[in-house]
Amino acid sequence: MNINWYPGHMKKTKESMKRSLPLIDIIYEVLDARVPISSKNPDVDNIIGNKPRLIILNKADLSNEIANKEWERFFLNKGIPTIFVNSLTGSGLNQIVNKSNTLIKDKMNKLKDKGIKNRPIRAMILGVPNVGKSTLINNLSGRKGAKTGNKPGVTKGNQWIKIKGNLELLDTPGILWPKLDNEELALNLAFTGAIKDELLDIEDLAFKLLEKLIKLCPVLIEKRYNIIVRNHSTYEIMESIAMNRGCILKGGEIDYTRISNTIIDDFRKGRIGKITLELP
């Protein structure tokens, strides 16, 4: 399955980020807690250099709690502070302000020694499309300062937003990298909505997602769709789900487009269960 998406605005975003870095005190790198490595843009490390960084694993309400602990240890072993948040409900957001104050305390103290007092902490927020950056920002700021949407590519330009705790946040559009060579990584991005569905074969994507979920969490599939997974092929399981959900065309044929959209939507909204697609 060939997956590739790198609009022109993403290249411009990277260039703009590099120009803005001298103004920045700390980087917020937002990852999808269900796919922390797949949603981590490998270009970011080179772009930000030695800037203090806080990894924010968003959508933690949709990921597996045991897996969350493993990922927290993984990043801490690399010396990168990590917090888990649910940007929709606001759970975990207060940790962002507290962690930020701790991470750049020395720098702010040096500014005070120079007579510069009460300067806001300036943060840049980075992440792949549809990782939940704008929703996170709106919860932090208490207002609808950033455009949000359930499709990638909503934020089109850099914008400064004041948030609580004497923080100023530079929002940036979601950026992918030019070539998605790793198929599993590309699929994980597609499963979680980081790549526009319009660019994908939705039936093929749903089949591959179901195939993966059958291996990872067959019990959750059985419970959600009231079917038996054992000793059945992915194709047979998809047909069973379609029959149970009434995704049938005239003449009794399976409506594969409809059931494909159902399976993908159920996964993205956590209806199947709390699922992490990759582990350290």
- Residue 246 host element (H or E): none
| 92 assigned ligand-binding residue | no
Residues shown for the chain: 280
Contact present, 72 and 55 (Cβ < 8 Å): no
| 113 assigned ligand-binding residue | no
| 147 assigned ligand-binding residue | no
| 60 assigned ligand-binding residue | yes
pTM, 2 dp: 0.86
| 135 assigned ligand-binding residue | yes
| 127 assigned ligand-binding residue | no
Give pLDDT, residue 152: 40
Q: How would DSSP label each residue in 192-247? A: TTSS-GGGS-HHHHHHHHHHHHHHH-HHHHHHHHT---TT--HHHHHHHHHHHHT-
Give pLDDT, residue 149: 43
Residue among 3, 2, 9, 33 at smallest CA distance from 175: 9
| 44 assigned ligand-binding residue | no
Which domains, and CATH codes, for the chain? 8-171 (3.40.50.300), 201-268 (1.10.1580.10)
Give pLDDT, residue 29: 93
Give pLDDT, residue 250: 87
Q: Is the pLDDT of residue 159 over 70?
A: no
| 59 assigned ligand-binding residue | yes
Give pLDDT, residue 92: 84
Give the whole-angstrom CA distance, residue 82 versus residue 72: 6
CA dihedral 133, 194, 47, 107 (to 10 degrees): 20
Kindly give the pairing relationship between strand 159-163 and strand 167-171. Answer: antiparallel
| 78 assigned ligand-binding residue | no
| 273 assigned ligand-binding residue | no
Give pLDDT, residue 233: 96
| 87 assigned ligand-binding residue | yes
Q: pLDDT for 101-146, tens place per residue?
A: 888 888 888 888 888 887 888 898 888 888 888 888 888 887 664 4
Give the whole-angstrom CA distance, residue 51 versus residue 29: 11
| 130 assigned ligand-binding residue | yes
Q: pLDDT for 59-86, tens place per residue?
A: 999 999 999 999 999 999 999 999 999 8
Give pLDDT, residue 1: 57
Across 39-48, 71-80, 124-133, 168-177, least confident range: 168-177
| 251 assigned ligand-binding residue | no
Q: pLDDT for 234-251, tens place per residue?
A: 999 999 999 999 999 988
Q: Is the pLDDT of residue 151 over 80?
A: no
Give the whole-angstrom CA distance, residue 138 versus residue 124: 15
The average confidence (pLDDT) of the chain is 85
